[in-house]
Structure 1
Amino acid sequence: MTAARDAVMTVKDLETFLAAEFPQAFGPGRAHHVECVGLKTATVRLDADESHLRPGGTISGPAMMALADVAVYVALLAQIGPVALAVTTNLSINFLRKPAPGPLFGDARIIKLGKRLAVGEVGIRGPGDDELVAHCVATYSIPDRPKA
């Protein structure tokens, strides 16, 4: 699925915008990929490699936090359009179990979308797995946007 009803940005739109604005996460050789967007939802994949692992061979907490943050940002942008300066004001994550090395998916859902603040939650899971390895809640500040 590349786009869904009521999303103002498609997967292609998001990938293009993010590659330009955040090449460190979405540029060439990038680790993050937008899988799908929908009505207040998005799924982002992290192709975790050796640089994302911690001692013990599991994906690091900072890598999972980045995935959660990116997933909420993508779900938000899919609804409000390309607002580069929407920023995280709070992020809380619970690590539930150790993920195996390899790809992880962040399934984000916007819980509240206001004029100035958005709140979203993310479940992080491995491929083909319904058991979460982490759960995150994040709040974003939305800057004033020019009137159309």
Structure 2
Amino acid sequence: MTLKAADGQKILRENFAPWVLELGLVVEEVGDGSAVLRLPWSDRLAREGGGLSGQAMMAAADTAVVVAVAGARGGFVPMTTVQLSTSFQRPVVGRDVLVAVTIGKLGRTLAFADVTLTVDGDPAVVARASAVYAIMG
């Protein structure tokens, strides 16, 4: 089953904690092993100096991997983060962030993903992440 953006949005609504939902993430695309989510700019997510907090970007990346794995599996299954490593490359101020995930390997019990974060309308990378997820279902 191929998932659509609306399916990804439903996965968010039904499976994530309220504080994650408060990030306002929007699923823009779900593919077979990929996903793109939008993290809308919010002053509430800014740290001192006005830049988007790294914690918000990491949470968005972590969440986007779940949607991408669901896309690869044809639907949501229980899973949990085993590893998430993020490198921040430039600040984000006043702009939405696009979180693009590609699943590099999807096994029966583990998924490996690469995540690229950019600001909307600019291909310059603001952060990169790699993640490993344990698939429990």
Give the TM-score normalised by the residue count of structure 2: 0.91
Q: Select which of 12, 15, 22 maps to 1:21.
A: 15
Partner of 2:108: 115
Q: Deviations over 1:24-55 (max 9, x none)?
A: 234xx661010001121100001121111000
Counterpart amino acid of residue 25 in structure 2: H
1:65 aligns with 2:58: yes
Aligned position for 2:131: 138
Q: Which runs of 4+ in 1 moved over 6 A?
A: none
Unaligned runs of 5+ in 2: none
Give 2:70's match in structure 1, choosing from 77, 95, 116: 77
For residues 6-32 of structure 1, what are the alpha-carbon distances to aligned partners after superposition, in whole Å with 9 as ceiling and x for unaligned?
A: x63222122123212225234xx6610
- SS of equivalent to 1:101: coil
> Percent identity among equivalent residues?
34
Given the two structures, how large is their TM-score scaled by the length of structure 1? 0.85
State the structure with more CA Rg. 1
What residue ranges of structure 1 are gaps of 5+ in the alignment?
1-6
Q: State the match for 1:88 in structure 2.
A: 81
Correspondence for 1:4? none
2-structure distance, mates of 1:139, 1:66:
14
Residue in 1 that maps onto 2:49 = 56
The CA RMSD measured in Å over matched residues stands at 1.5
1:31–1:48 Cα contact (<8 Å) kept? no
Deviation at 1:82, TM superposition (A): 1.4
